Chains A and B, each alone.
Chain A
Amino acid sequence: MTATQSNVFLALQTNDETRPIIEAIEADNPHAVVHRYPAMVKIDAPGRLVLKRQTVEEITGVEWELQSFHVNLISLSGNIDETEDELVLAWRQ
C-alpha cells in the first residue's frame, strides 16, 4: 500500500436496477468516489473495490443474484475475483 495507489474502477449504466448496486458499493467502500456522467456512473477506488450481494439485498429487501449485475455493467478495471457473494476488483502492486 503506497501513497500513490492506483485506482480500480467499475462503470454502470444509470438506471433503476443499478441504484441499489451503487448504494451498496458506496456503503461498503467509503474510500470510493462516484462520478456521474450522462447515462453512466463510474466509481473509482484506490487499490480495491468490493460489491457485496448481501448489502444489495439488505437495501432492496429481495434476493439478488450477483451475476445479474453484468446486464448493466459498462466497464471495469483491476484484477477480478467473483464468487456468488461478492465481486472484488483489485490491483496487486
Chain B
Amino acid sequence: MAVNALQPGYTGEVKDRVELFHGNHLIYIGWDQHMMICAPVALPLPPTMPFGALISDVLPTTAFAAHPDWPRIDWSQVEWLRSGKPFKPDPGKSLADNGLGHKSALRLRTPGLDGIGATGS
C-alpha cells in the first residue's frame, strides 16, 4: 500500500518529473565536512554536460566558492560519492554517462581540508 487513501487505487501527481525541468536534470551536490554551506545545493544541469565542466564551469559559480577552503582544493585528490557510495567519475564523459541522472545526489570529499578552524564547518 503506497498510500492510505479513501479512494482505492489512488495515485498522486509526481511534482518533479524530469520533463518539467526544461531539458535539464536536477543534480544535488554537497561538500562533506563543510557545513558553513548550510545544505547541499540543487542545480538544474543539462545531462550532456561533461563532468569536467561541472568542476570547471559550474561549481565556481555556486556558494562553494565562498568557502575559504575552496581555492585550496586539489581536484586530483577529491573523492566522489554518488548516492552515498564512492565512485570515480570520468571528467570527459557527460553527467548522464557518469550515472548522474535526474535527482542524483553527488558528494565531494576533500581530505586534508577540514573546514573553518578544522571544525567541519
A–B proximity contact (CB within 8 A): no
